[in-house]
Amino acid sequence: MTEQTSYDYIICGAGSAGCVLANRLSEDGSSVLLLEAGGPDDHDAIHTPMRILELFMSEHDWAYMTAPQKHAKGRSLYWPRGKTLGGSSATNGMIYVRGSASDYDHWAQELGCTGWDYKSVLPYFKKSEDFDRGESEFHGKGGPLHVTSDFEPHPLHKAMLNAAVEAGHPYNDDTNGASPLGVAYVDLTVKDGKRHSTAQAYLAPVRARPNLMVKTGAWVLKIVIEDGRAVGVEYGTKDGSGTVKANREVLVSLGTLESPRLLMLSGIGPKAHLEEFGIEVKRDLPGVGQNLHDHNLLPVIYEAAKEIPATTDMGLTPLHVHLFAKTDPALPGPDMQPLFFNLPYYTPEMEQPTGNAFTLAAAGVRPTSRGEIRLTSADPRAPLHLDPNVLATDYDVQTLVTSIKQVREIARQPALAEWKGREIYPGEDKQSDAELVDYARQAVSSYHHQCGTCKMGIDDMAVVDPTLKVRGISGLRVVDASIFPFVMAGNTNAPTIMVAEKAADLIRQDARE
């Protein structure tokens, strides 16, 4: 497509959501401009699942760090985010999880997000999916995103799954089916042994459309707002800056960390905070940057009693098994999702006595702690103040303690006897709840599932309404994980893709009216 000065739609960010929007909105001939600050997804490590760890702290990673966390021993947590076409779908663990039906029913029935109940969103999960086992009540076939569920697991992972069953957890053949509960092999966004990011699934097949323009290395600086309407964006490249007009809508899909920044730099956000930096207030929305939350991951690491064989299939990842469980049987859905790795998942602060080790990572996936994102400058490239306020609630801490006890019980089962040596972390000497709480605070890390900072809803802190329109500004929507009012109990990539699929229909419906 030849470069022009106006487009029907301008999409800010070519990540998990932005690539979906670019595909769907350009289907009918509408002109679409997709702007991405990162580079092309042309590095082999992006496409080779077993090379995932090479992407951390690389040129393809924004490598954010949080503010020191007062409930986690003053540690700053590392948050990788994809700096490339496909965004974090090009750098994540490729686990395809939708969450529990109760998560979406909670959005709709208790948080006022009409149209986002599970029955309403399931068709969009199915529309996006190309499931290797074929179409069913819960799965789609022929969609853009290939989901691989059948593969040969690593022998240690087989032992881990069997140990979980021995510990009393049911085996679940489909965690994206009727219920996620139980232990299961993961579903992977992998196709023919290669990562299937949204850049590959949604964008690559349509790059040749004459009405779609994709620009990498293009940093969106500001949304242009006139008389309460978003009419375009300013963006910068290595060659300078420019302004482009949106005839219909500006769509912000920069992710949980950058979408609120762009809104604030454009004058949309908490009035007093914007005025600190001399930003003209276009709309006082106190919820922008608030409600920041994330899943909590806590490694429980065992030295291996024998050599762990390398995974020879480069189309797989070091994570083949996960478990969904409840801290309380009365809960409508799971609040723990331990992950089982065939390698040691050390945090940066940990001593690393051996590489021949494996991890049963405790996890809390219904966190109640909430934090915030704030500007540190009106410069779009300045560091953000990222404070998730991790482990601020007793519930979040106790969930991790419960999860530690749960994975330790799994490790004690006969199926893992030939593999398990000493417990390296937290260590067998740490048995009391107080000791486990202390360990949780010193070793908690991120699941890399940040969300919520432009939350959808109908209350005063909502940033977007249930059609994802920014409150009080026309021609502007946010479409990414920042709109989740409460994170689902599971990985966030598949739900982000679902949100974009549904958003595309909402946008096209408005264009027809």
Which residues form the catalytic set? 448
Helix (H, G, I), strand (E, B) or coil at 500: helix
- Could you tell me the CA-to-CA distances from 301 to 154, 357, 425, 446 in Å, in that order? 18, 7, 5, 16
Work out the end-to-end distance of the chain between its first and last CA atoms, rounded to an integer number of angstroms: 27
| Encoded amino acid at 149, one letter | S
* Alpha helices (H) in 231-359, listed in sequence order: 255-265, 271-276
Instruction: Determine contact, residues 388/75, Cβ cutoff 8 Å.
Output: no
Three-state secondary-structure class, residue 363:
strand
Strand pairing class (6-12; 240-252): parallel
Task: Give residue for tokens 């050390």.
Answer: 346
Q: What angle do CA 265, 269, 271 make, to 5 degrees?
A: 105
The DSSP string of 80-131 is --B-BTTGGGGTS--B-----HHHHHHHHHHS--TT-SHHHHHHHHHHHEEE
From residue 191, give the alpha-carbon distance in Å to each of 100, 209, 279, 367. 25, 23, 46, 32
Provide the 3-class DSSP secondary structure of residue 459: coil
Rounded Cα–Cα distance for residues 196 and 146 (Å): 7
Calpha distance 334→99 (Å, rounded): 9
What is the DSSP annotation of 174-233? Answer: -TTSS---EEEEPPB-EETTEE--HIIIIIGGGTT-TTEEEEES-EEEEEEEETTEEEEE
Q: Which two tokens stand for residue 77?
A: 């947590």
Quick one: tokens of 503?
Answer: 């958003």
